[in-house]
Structure 1
Amino acid sequence: MQIVLVDWVIIGAFIALTIGVGLWYSRRASSSTEEFFVSGRSLPWWIAGTSMVATSFAADTPLAVTGLVCKYGVAGNWFWWAFAFGGMFTAFVYARLWRRAGVVTDVELLKIRYSRRPAHVLRLARSIYITLLVIPIVVGWVIKAMLTVLKETVFYSSAIAADGAAANSSVDSTGMAWVAVLCMLFAVAVYSVLSGMWGVVITDAIQFVIAIVGCAVFAAVAVNAAGGIGELQANIEQQFGDGQAFAFFPSFTTENPWLPLHIFLFMLGMQWWSTWYPGAEPGGGGYIVQRMAACRSERDSVLATLWYQFAHYGLRPWPWILVAFAALSLHPELRSNYLADDSFDPGVGYPMLMRELCPPGLAGLMLVTFFAAFMSTISTQMNWGASYLVCDFLVPLFPKLAGDDKRLLRASQAISVLVLTEGVLVSWLMVESNMSVDDAWKILAALGAGTGLVYMLRWFWWRISAWSEISAMFGSLFWFVVMQQNAVQQALLGRPLATEEQTFFVAILTVITWLIVTLALPPESESTLVDFFKLVRPSRLGWGRIADKCPAVEPDRDLGLRVVAAGVASLTIFVALPAIGDWIFGNYTRASVFTLLTAVFGVTTVGLLKSIAPTEPVSKNPVSEN
């Protein structure tokens, strides 16, 4: 890819704008830990929701989607589309509960929901687990993806070997890509450390617009290069023998389906409620909770989460999918190489097309698109990780720090850099092991399998205790390690297990583990449960025994309506996705039907939202004491 003056101007302007935002908000963010981590709980819904969307679009996302399409066709995206069910439940059922809890992090909820030493140990362990294991894996695959983009575009070079064959200068390009990534990480560290959540969410909003525009423009260029929609579709069907690549649902009758039926059923039927996955946590969690906590009212937290779900699942996928199809049409070896060697990553097709197709100007825009996606995710992971170690590790261990904002802010800034450094190390390990981005996605999903249900039920079943979560967290780790053993896999199915199959068994065994522990050990103290019920005011369902002791508390009475709203909103997304695809590929009759269904479900969702969301902003909750 040739970078000319106009591209450098675009890149330079973006970096200057990003650092400028960090400097602008540095004074406000440094006034308190509340400002640094949750923007003073004053964000409007559209800023908070857009920040969620921008964070979930990282440098790895287009590459992972390209890999899924090349391996499994459009239906492969059900790996992440299925999480929309859980996302809508978070928006309609859990968002206001989180806002009422008044926490800074989701781990902070543990000291409100549970009591005694197990709660203290769980809070410390959970903060360490997420900050030093989960977040570095996320940062690692994002950096690895950015390295791949740079190596295939800006630093791609080809030398003619003695025998006339093309040979990549991989060592030189890798080194230069690392230098470029480290420079970007320095820029991210500057504005994240200086401006905290304020800098993160404002730059996220800017980066979201850039990323959406860049991906849409490039999708049009890629499809045109493949000869247009009709030729692209005909070419892929001719090369691979059938239309499975374009099927929204996998074929249930084909002898050799691209996506096996049992894996699809697991994705759609179990994954959304059983698996804890960053950005799609059942019941809410992670940076999603941090954004909800930063909202100025319950209503804003609901609308922010709802906007995130629609934008993430409904607005963004098709530009990525179209580029994936263009890559598959122009480079059919992406799939054939994967079939011959499953360690090959077909996700590399996305940056390959960037290198081949981007003219001056668009090259700069696409690089800035990836820089924006990369930086928004990294900045969130840094702030999120620091919030865990400060609020849920340092303060509980050293209570005197709670009133010393200056020392906590310095600690927050130092820990942000620590999180980033560990992520760099993990990315190096991923590069060395040649792990693909979508494989890393699936491994992290397997690692958290079976824990999702306990995070959902702790709001609605008084019997859930700290031991339930402890056994779920460590049980998931234990069963994940067990399922990695070849002897276990052979004993179960007589062959090596796909990652999705491993996730299924880990989920089932983990749920059984924490249910046994929950019923075998005593519940939390009655005073703790009463205090939690008074603060959060959940539905009486599952809390009847405790609710009877709180006659003055008015619990939620519209849980059923909210569950219906979550289901209808999910259906809106699931019919909108094929509607858009059918319009693109000229299936106008079916597109019209799906569009009509989208309108019906969408209008119903809006009507339900008006019934269950407060019409006036609710006063801000006080910050809970650590």
Structure 2
Amino acid sequence: DVTNISSLGGAFSLTVASFLAYIGIIWWASWYPGAEPGGGGYVAQRMMSAKNEKHSLFATLFFQITHYAVRPWPWIIVGLSTLVLYPNLSVESKGIGYVYAMRDFLPVGLKGLLVAAFFAAYMSTIATQLNWGTSYIINDFYKRFIKKNEQEKHYVNISRLATILLMVLSVFVTLFISRISGAWQFIMESGAGLGLVLILRWFWWRVNAWSEISAMVTPFIVYPIIKYNGVEFPNTLFYLVTITTIVWVSVTYLTKPTDEKTLLSFYKKIHPGGILWKKISDTLPNVKSDTGFAGMFINWIIGVVLVYSILFGSGSLIFGNIGSFFLYLILAIICTIIITFNLSKMDWSENQ
């Protein structure tokens, strides 16, 4: 059965459709906090805090390597160890092996420190999301459309109320989620199809606010319908992404474009290039558009190879497969040389 090869186990336990959803859709089509396609608040804050564009690029590359190639290994090593230490755990209970390892192997001091770290991580995440959500509600909705000219004290009080309501709503939602993976899946499903519009807004002048709004709303409407019909994650992504894309593209053409003054101002400041901005660039012949998209695409592909080379190379070294380690090391060095060479040819003078 080519659609279900789960009998082989391991990496082959996914259906072909599920594999295609993970490898071909999620990375570009679904919005996910911290990994937003087309850039987002998390990534943008890091980049804007850098000294200049060159520093922000290398800092972002460094983050990708440490986040995806270095950080997972402590989790993986502990997880694999628990499979050996606690072989009698059922498949559904494998995750509790982490807790058992903490209980059985950490000394009292480190055990308390780890618990405190868990609480700190939980509270920082909750605080971030509540403040983030409240800022959207107050600044982007309430302050713009409900009460436009109130004193700051009024907005502070309303923001406190909004924070409480968001927390109550969050607690209510958690009653329907039995596993943390369910929350991740729901986030990816509720943002399915949004990724493409977040990417294209930088490359196509026609994308407007209604494009993004429709892309954000559509998954929430479609999601309960396909779930009711028995479609499970990640197969839900095929339906969500397709329908959401059709909707936001249709809305884009059915609504008025962003006013020309705003587009011209944006183009002068950001100077995006590409054929999809030609209508605007033709009206501003003195503004030099960004170029070198082919080189950027090559750097992106090589960057992906670099991250995976370090990830798998680290694993090979940890598990004593020295031959594979050196192969991945050589590949990582080659990728680093190519990226460094390509970036050295860029003109950074305007960004210093």
TM-score normalised by the chain length of structure 1: 0.50
Shift, 1:425, TM fit: 4.1
Q: Which residue number in structure 1 is paired with residue 149 of structure 2?
A: 400
Aligned partner of 2:26 among 265, 271, 283: 271
- The letter for the 2-side match of 1:332 is P
CA distance in 2: counterparts of 1:600 and 1:377, whole angstroms = 37
Does structure 1 residue 481 correspond to structure 2 residue 227? no
Assess, with a 3 A threshold, how the Cα gap between structure 1 residues 471 and 304 changes in structure 2: closer, same or farther: same
Deviation at 1:294, TM superposition (A): 4.8
**Is 1:472 equivalent to 2:220 in the alignment?**
no
Instruction: Return closer, same or farther for 1:483/1:368 CA change in 2, 3 Å cut-off.
Output: same
1:517 to 251, 254, 268: 251
Counterpart-to-counterpart distance in 2, 1:345 and 1:549: 62
CA–CA separation in structure 1 for the residues paired with 2:263 and 2:220: 28
Name stretches of at least 5 consecutive residues in structure 1 with no aligned partner: 1-240, 251-256, 339-343, 490-496, 619-626
> CA 1:510–1:399 in 2, change beyond 3 Å: closer, same or farther?
same
- Does the alignment pair 1:331 with 2:86? yes
Cα distance in 1 between the residues matched to 2:56 and 2:28: 21
Alignment check: 8 A CA contact 1:454 1:469 kept: yes
Q: CA deviation at 1:461?
A: 0.8
SS in 2 for 1:499: coil
Distance 2:238 2:160 in 1: 39
Counterpart residue type for residue 40 of structure 2: G
The reply on whether 1:423 has 2:170 as its aligned counterpart is yes
Distance 1:405 1:560, change over 3 A: farther
Are 2:281 and 1:544 equivalent residues in the alignment?
no
CA-CA distance at 1:267 after TM superposition? 1.0
Structure-2 residue corresponding to 1:386: 134
Correspondence for 2:197? 454
Distance 1:459 1:346, change over 3 A: same
Counterpart CA distance in 1 for 2:163 and 2:59 is 25
Structure 1 residue identity aligned to 2:189: A
Query: Aligned partners of 1:513, 1:400: CA distance in 2, in Å?
Result: 35
Which deviations, in whole Å up to 9, do the C-alpha atoms of 1:67-103 show, x marking residues without a partner?
A: xxxxxxxxxxxxxxxxxxxxxxxxxxxxxxxxxxxxx
Q: Point out where structure 2 has 5 or more consecutive residues left out of the alignment.
A: 1-6
Q: What amino acid maps onto 2:222 in structure 1?
A: W
Q: Note closer, same or farther for the CA distance 1:294–1:522 as it changes in structure 2 (3 Å cut).
A: same
Distance 1:309 1:525 in 2: 36
Map 1:195-344 → 2, pairs under 5 A: 245=10, 250=11, 257-295=12-50, 297-334=52-89, 337-338=90-91, 344=92
Residue 183 of structure 2 corresponds to which residue in structure 1? 440
Of 505, 516, 535, the match for 2:269: 535
The alpha-carbon distance between structure 1 residues 267 and 552, as it changes in their structure 2 partners (threshold 3 A), is same
Give the Cα–Cα distance (whole angstroms) in 2 for the partners of residues 302 and 410 of structure 1. Answer: 39
Counterpart Cα distance in 1 of 2:253 and 2:47? 32
> 2: CA distance between counterparts of 1:520 and 1:348?
51
Quote how far apart the aligned CAs of 1:600 are.
Answer: 1.3
3-state secondary structure, aligned to 1:543? helix
Between the aligned partners of 2:319 and 2:247, the Cα distance in structure 1 is: 47
- Per-residue deviation, residues 521-546 of structure 1 (Å, max 9, x unmatched): 44333333222222221113310011
Deviation at 1:287, TM superposition (A): 3.2
| Cα offsets for 1:121-150 (capped at 9, x unmatched) | xxxxxxxxxxxxxxxxxxxxxxxxxxxxxx
Name 2:3's counterpart in structure 1. none
Matches of 1:367 and 1:284, distance apart in 2: 33
Once superposed, what is the RMSD of the aligned Cα atoms?
2.8
Match of 2:321 among 582, 587, 591: 587
- Indicate the residue corresponding to 2:118 in structure 1: 370
> Is residue 25–residue 237 contact of structure 2 (8 Å, CA) maintained in 1?
no
Equivalents in 1 of 2:56, 2:127: separation in Å? 21
Aligned position for 2:341: 607
Aligned in 2, Cα 1:615/1:586: closer, same or farther, shift over 3 Å? farther
Match of 2:100 among 326, 348, 352: 352
Per-residue CA deviation, residues 218-259 of structure 1 (Å, 9 max, x unaligned), is: xxxxxxxxxxxxxxxxxxxxxxx98x54xxxx3xxxxxx323
State how far apart, in whole Å, the 2-side matches of 1:333 and 1:258 are: 21
Q: Give the TM-score of the pair, scaled to structure 2.
A: 0.86
Deviation at 1:393, TM superposition (A): 2.1
Following TM superposition, by how much is the alpha carbon of 1:475 offset from its aligned partner in structure 2, in angstroms?
1.9
Corresponding residue for residue 502 of structure 1? 236
**Alignment deviations for residues 354-398 of structure 1 (CA, whole Å, 9 cap, x no partner):** 122212222123223323432332332233223323331233234
Q: Which has the higher contact order (CA 8 A, sep 6+)?
A: 1
Q: Return the alpha-carbon distance in structure 2 between the equivalents of residues 615 and 378 of structure 1.
A: 41
Deviates more, 1:294-303 or 1:351-360: 294-303
Question: Does the C-alpha gap of structure 1 residues 379 and 615 become closer, same or farther in structure 2, counting only changes over 3 Å?
Answer: farther
8 A contact 2:303–2:335 mirrored in 1: yes
How many residues in Structure 1 have an aligned counterpart in Structure 2?
A: 345
Contact in 1 for aligned 2:130/2:163 (Cα 8 Å): yes
Q: Deviations over 1:318-374 (max 9, x none)?
A: 11011111122223344xx33xxxxx4532221222122212222123223323432
1:612, CA displacement in angstroms?
4.1
1:410 Cα deviation from its structure 2 partner: 6.2
Cα distance, 1:499–1:321 mapped onto 2, change above 3 Å = same
**AA of the residue aligned to 1:587:** N
Tell me the secondary structure at the aligned position of residue 400 of structure 1. coil
Task: Return the offset for 1:296.
Answer: 5.5
CA contact (8 A) 1:468 1:515 kept: yes
SS at match of 1:484: helix
SS of match in other structure, 2:323: helix
- Report the secondary structure of 1:361's partner residue: helix
